[in-house]
């Protein structure tokens, strides 16, 4: 550990916002990893997006390093990762294994390049398939289904025209070419890395088949499935426009809440390591339920998804934020529809308007709302901000 960049431990500090115990006040500087547990190093790689950075973790094995996640395929990420392994405590051993928690480019972007240098890639099957599929999609304009998705969400006028002209994704640029084969990981697999055994627990909602790693000595690497300072983004993809990702995420969160203890040391994909995982899960569950309650209340009058943005996020959104959060708002609406609470109707052949479904649903939902308010939790404190990726 480089004393110059050593983080001050703050194990007992209770974060006034989230209520969890943030383990470190300082964050790793580029090129200077922090040893957060014996043989486990926290590395930060810079991103150009709103996210600012992604956390990756190096786990010491007997003959090399296992890297959990790898940053984007960008010069900045590559330079920062190279600096970590060039000098200092990680320099003496090679990276022999890369584990991708999920297929998002800030987590799997450099995996292909690391494999070319000798590492072996581990991933869930859906992570692998999604990454391979998205790498092939190099269209320069959105396809019909993508345009239809935002139109049906209620996007119109100048915003819709701007969307039509925008390149839909730069995934293939942000993710280096992946190898032909990989090692599949799945629920309940156990990986021996150094002196620890890590059990794989698969979550859903943020990304399909998102791998999390749980050690036999109380450490959990949670990627973007559970975060401290923000809620995981649950955006619906236009390729599966009716998906109920909220249900999938709620199921995972409840499962992880029971799997962990307040002393579990959580190493997330963004922000900072923390303890208090069951508390954090409980807060996030309450937060999502309050968003759903608020959304249901506003649908006493018919609205499009775009018209619900202010109700869901309760702040002024930038143009780029609106693009990302429309897809998440559709996800909340899909969930309410799956629960039988709201229904939708296509108006003018273009946009869905959503409204409360029936009196029985309203009565049931009001009971849920009352229960959420009774929890005395301040949703703004719980949710804090949103993640766009």
- CB-nearer residue toward Zn ion: 155 or 227: 227
Per the CB < 8 A criterion, the answer to whether 332 and 295 are in contact is: yes
Q: Measured from the CB of residue 103, what is the shortest distance to Zn ion in angstroms?
A: 8
Q: Measured from the CB of residue 69, what is the shortest distance to Zn ion in angstroms?
A: 10
Place of tokens 């399909």: 208
Binding mask 153-192 for Zn ion (x = CB under 5 A): ----------------------------------------
Q: Which DSSP string do the residues of 25-70 spell out, in sequence order?
A: SS-PPTT--EEEETTEEEEEEE-SSTT-EEEEEEEE-SSSEEEE--
Stretch that binds Zn ion, among 103-111, 252-260, 289-297, 338-346 (CB under 5 A): 103-111
- CB-nearer residue toward Zn ion: 222 or 287: 222
Q: Measured from the CB of residue 355, what is the shortest distance to Zn ion in angstroms?
A: 32
> Cα(178)–Cα(132) distance, rounded to whole angstroms?
7
Tokens of 336: 């309410």
- For residue 355, give the nearest of 313, 312, 305 by alpha carbon: 305
Q: Measured from the CB of residue 102, what is the shortest distance to Zn ion in angstroms?
A: 6
Q: Would you count residue 53 as binding Zn ion (CB under 5 A)?
A: no
Per the CB < 8 A criterion, the answer to whether 199 and 188 are in contact is: yes
Q: Would you count residue 387 as binding Zn ion (CB under 5 A)?
A: no
65, 103, 209, 149: CA torsion to nearest 10: 170
> Which residues, 6 or more positions from 189, have their beta carbon under 8 angstroms from its beta carbon?
199, 200
- CB-nearer residue toward Zn ion: 37 or 231: 231
Q: Would you count residue 224 as binding Zn ion (CB under 5 A)?
A: yes
- CB-nearer residue toward Zn ion: 328 or 389: 389
Binding mask 275-294 for Zn ion (x = CB under 5 A): --------------------
Stretch that binds Zn ion, among 22-30, 70-78, 177-185, 381-389 (CB under 5 A): 381-389
Tokens of 99: 């584990």
Secondary structure class of 21 (helix, strand, coil): strand
Q: Measured from the CB of residue 224, what is the shortest distance to Zn ion in angstroms?
A: 4
Q: Measured from the CB of residue 389, what is the shortest distance to Zn ion in angstroms?
A: 5
Convert 12-24 to b/e letters by CB count within 10 Å (16 or more is b): eeebebbbbbbbb
Q: Would you count residue 104 as binding Zn ion (CB under 5 A)?
A: yes
- CB-nearer residue toward Zn ion: 324 or 369: 324
Residues that bind Zn ion (CB under 5 A): 104, 224, 389
């Amino acid at each position: 550990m480089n004393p110059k960049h050593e983080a001050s431990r703050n194990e007992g500090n209770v974060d006034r916002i989230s209520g969890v115990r943030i383990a470190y006040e300082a964050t790793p500087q580029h090129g200077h990893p922090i040893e957060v547990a014996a043989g486990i190093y926290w590395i930060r790689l810079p991103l150009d997006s709103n996210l600012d950075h992604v956390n990756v973790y190096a786990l010491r094995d007997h003959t090399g390093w296992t890297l959990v996640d790898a940053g984007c395929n960008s010069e900045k990420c590559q330079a920062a990762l190279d600096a970590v392994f060039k000098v200092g405590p990680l320099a003496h051993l090679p990276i022999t294994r890369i584990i991708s928690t999920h297929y998002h480019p800030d987590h799997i972007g450099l995996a292909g390049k690391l494999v070319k240098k000798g590492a072996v890639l581990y991933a869930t099957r859906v992570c692998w398939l999604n990454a391979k599929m998205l790498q092939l999609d190099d269209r320069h304009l959105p396809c019909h289904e993508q345009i239809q998705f935002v139109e049906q969400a209620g996007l119109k006028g100048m915003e819709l025209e701007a969307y039509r002209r925008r390149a839909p994704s730069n995934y293939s640029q942000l993710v280096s070419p992946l190898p032909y084969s990989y090692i599949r990981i799945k629920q309940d697999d156990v990986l021996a890395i150094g002196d620890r055994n890590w059990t794989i627990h698969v979550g859903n909602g943020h990304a399909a088949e998102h791998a999390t790693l749980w050690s036999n000595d109380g450490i959990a690497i949670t990627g973007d499935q559970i975060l401290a300072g923000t809620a995981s983004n649950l955006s619906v993809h236009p390729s599966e426009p009716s998906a109920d990702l909220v249900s999938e995420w709620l199921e995972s969160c409840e499962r992880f809440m029971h799997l962990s203890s307040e002393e579990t040391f959580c190493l997330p994909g963004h922000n900072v390591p923390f303890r208090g995982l069951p508390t954090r899960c409980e807060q996030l569950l309450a937060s999502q339920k309050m968003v759903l309650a608020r959304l249901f209340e506003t649908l006493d009058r018919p609205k499009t998804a775009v018209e619900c943005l202010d109700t869901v996020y309760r702040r002024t959104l930038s143009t780029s934020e609106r693009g990302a959060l429309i897809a998440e708002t559709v996800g909340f609406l899909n969930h309410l529809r799956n629960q039988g609470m709201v229904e939708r109707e296509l108006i003018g052949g273009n946009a869905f308007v959503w409204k409360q479904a029936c009196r029985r649903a309203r009565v049931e939902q009001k009971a849920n709302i009352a229960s959420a308010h009774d929890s005395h939790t301040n949703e703004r404190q719980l949710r804090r901000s949103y993640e766009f990726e």
